[in-house]
Amino acid sequence: EAGVAQSPRYKIIEKRQSVAFWCNPISGHATLYWYQQILGQGPKLLIQFQNNGVVDDSQLPKDRFSAERLKGVDSTLKIQPAKLEDSAVYLCASSPVRGGRGLTDTQYFGPGTRLTVL
């Protein structure tokens, strides 16, 4: 079974530039997550999709971050404009359940995109 795919693996940009990350979840997984992992910290959830709808984006800095999951499969996370503090690894994960009331299951993670903002 193919895992979660992410691209690019590395990205270096200057502050105020924009950047986009792409994620392809495991086939058939309805729920997709984007996490931000700053060096020395654990991953922090930014946004959660169920199919192509947003379930939770309470920790997404909406003034500069946006995400979409058109057609309920691939997803794109964008940062515009980037700040120095956005330097982190951006992880995509997917899980095979709907993430609804009382339902839970394992999340499978991709390799991440390491973003450096200069």
Partner 1 sequence: AQSVSQHNHHVILSEAASLELGCNYSYGGTVNLFWYVQYPGQHLQLLLKYFSGDPLVKGIKGFEAEFIKSKFSFNLRKPSVQWSDTAEYFCAVNPNILTGGGNKLTFGTGTQLKVEL
Which residues, including other chains, have CB under 8 Å from residue 27's CB and lie 6 or more apart? 1, 2
If binding is defined by CB under 8 A, does position 103 make contact with partner 1? yes
If binding is defined by CB under 8 A, does position 25 make contact with partner 1? no
Tell me if 117 sits within 8 A of 86, measured CB to CB.
yes
Tell me if 77 sits within 8 A of 23, measured CB to CB.
yes
If binding is defined by CB under 8 A, does position 112 make contact with partner 1? yes
Please state whether the peptide bond connecting residue 43 to the residue before it is cis, i.e. omega within 30 degrees of 0.
no
Q: Of 31 and 82, which has the nearer Cβ to partner 1?
A: 31
CA-atom Rg of the chain in angstroms: 14
* CB 45 to partner 1: min, Å: 6
Q: Binding string, 34-63, against partner 1, x = CB under 8 A?
A: ------xxxxxx--x------xx-------
Binding site for partner 1 (CB under 8 A): 3, 31, 33, 40-45, 48, 55-56, 91, 93, 95, 97, 99-112
